[in-house]
């Protein structure tokens, strides 16, 4: 009996051919001993070199075994499009999905979890990238970063508050396609601002939500109507707090070019964070309603953070939805149809009265749509927002 280790696919093929030749060897013979050794070596080689089945392989095998179509997965995984994303590898299974597949289809939990990745030698971990010196100074001045606290420790405190993400990075960042915009955005400062906003939200007393905020235009209109009140800016925080949303106002850090963000904390509390980098009434209410739309319509198990530079256009579908929601909540479409280029101050006031919003909101939208920022410049409320929150 001459047996050698199996190291290559060629060795593996030779071993299989030899096993086939001596498969009927009588027990107790040399060929029987050779057969036993070869089958052991082949099994070890295949275990080490053949990739373990993926969770998708396990699901498809179970469907074929049970004579079921992919439609049988929809009650467990969600819509047809979500099933397609999971089977194509674009979306990962959540723990709840794995549990449902295990209970209803009998797929082993270890198959759904997937084989653990082999540990690979890796270089020493890089030092946490920090914001610019100026942004760090602003962060320390905010009082949210503790004295003598390292930047990595500061970030870790905030990460413990954030609901788990499908990935390690925030889900959405509005940006143009130009390298110039990407180059001037300080990603570390952006991350630091989000961390600070999350920590600041702990200072806001909020009614713990018993259910998710609905993607409801009626609530958007109710929030927009606060703008018509002389004390409306001060009423926003309590209004949102009663609905499980913490409103945070935190000036943007140098290099972030940020208007606002929507986040979901691990405890279920939603956070709307605003920078007020443009201290104007019309800008405040549009940004507020835009982020409210993200909270109500877009934050989910897979997306627990969305942040925006509203100066920039975006092709992202949820950004278009949030823009549309904010516009309709502030001024319903049927009212805006009557607006034209020759509008005057009296007509601005009339539309605002019918929409039950502050005139600055009508004036600001007119300026944007007709690209004339001189007209109605005294109506948009320059310098009237920040003082209400300072």
Mean pLDDT across the stretch 172-198?
A: 62
Residue 179 has what pLDDT? 31
For the chain, give the mean pLDDT. 83
Instruction: Find tokens 């179970």 and name the residue.
Output: 62
- Of the pLDDT bands very low, low, confident and very high (cuts 50, 70, 90), residue 168 is very low
Return the structure tokens found at 355.
């929409």
Average pLDDT in the 45-72 region?
Answer: 80
Q: Which two tokens stand for residue 20?
A: 């086939």
* Residue 312 pLDDT exceeds 70: no
Q: Give the residue from 384, 131, 380 showing the smallest Cα distance to 252.
A: 131
167, two tokens: 């990935």
Give the pLDDT score at 177: 31
pLDDT in tens, 117-156: 554 444 544 455 788 888 888 888 888 888 778 888 888 8
pLDDT bin (cut points 50, 70, 90) of residue 344 is very high
Going by their DSSP bridges, the two strands 270-274 and 305-308 should be labelled as unpaired
Position 197 scores a pLDDT of 93
User: Does the predicted model carry a pTM greater than 0.85?
Assistant: no
pLDDT bracket for residue 79 (50, 70, 90): confident
179-183, 227-231, 370-374: least confident range = 179-183
CA 385/CA 376 separation, integer angstroms: 18
């Amino acid at each position: 009996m001459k047996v050698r280790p199996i190291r290559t696919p060629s060795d593996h093929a030779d071993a299989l051919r030899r096993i086939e030749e001596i498969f009927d060897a009588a027990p107790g013979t040399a060929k029987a001993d050779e057969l036993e050794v070869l089958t052991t070596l082949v099994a070890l080689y295949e275990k080490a070199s053949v990739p373990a089945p993926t969770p998708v392989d396990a699901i498809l095998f179970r469907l074929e075994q049970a004579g079921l179509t992919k439609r049988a997965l929809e009650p467990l995984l969600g819509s047809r499009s979500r099933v397609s994303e999971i089977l194509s590898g674009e979306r990962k299974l959540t723990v709840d999905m794995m549990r449902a597949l295990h209970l209803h289809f009998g797929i082993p939990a270890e198959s759904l979890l997937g084989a653990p990745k082999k540990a690979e030698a890796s270089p020493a971990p890089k030092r946490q990238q920090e914001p610019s010196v100026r942004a760090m100074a602003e962060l320390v001045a905010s009082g949210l970063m503790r004295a003598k606290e390292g930047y990595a420790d500061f970030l870790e405190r905030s990460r413990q508050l954030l609901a788990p993400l499908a990935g390690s990075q925030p889900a959405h960042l509005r940006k143009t396609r130009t390298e110039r915009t990407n180059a001037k955005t300080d990603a570390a400062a952006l991350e630091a601002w989000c961390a600070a906003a999350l920590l600041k939200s702990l200072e806001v007393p909020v009614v713990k939500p018993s259910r998710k905020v609905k993607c409801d235009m009626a609530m958007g209109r109710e929030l927009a109507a606060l703008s018509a009140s002389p004390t409306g800016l001060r009423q926003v925080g309590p209004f949102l707090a009663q609905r499980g949303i913490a409103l945070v106002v935190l000036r943007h850090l140098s290099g972030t070019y940020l208007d606002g963000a929507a986040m979901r904390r691990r405890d279920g509390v939603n956070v709307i964070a605003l920078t007020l980098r443009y201290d104007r009434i019309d800008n405040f209410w549009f940004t507020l309603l835009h982020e409210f739309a993200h909270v109500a319509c877009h934050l989910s198990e897979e997306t627990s953070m969305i942040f925006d530079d509203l100066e920039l256009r975006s092709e992202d579908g949820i950004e278009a939805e949030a823009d549309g929601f904010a516009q309709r909540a502030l001024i319903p479409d049927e009212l805006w149809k009557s607006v034209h280029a020759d509008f005057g101050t009296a007509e601005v006031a009339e539309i605002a009265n019918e929409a039950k919003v502050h005139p600055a909101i009508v004036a600001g939208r007119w300026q944007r749509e007709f690209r004339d920022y001189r007209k109605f410049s005294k109506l948009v409320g320059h310098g009237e927002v920040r003082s209400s929150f300072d």
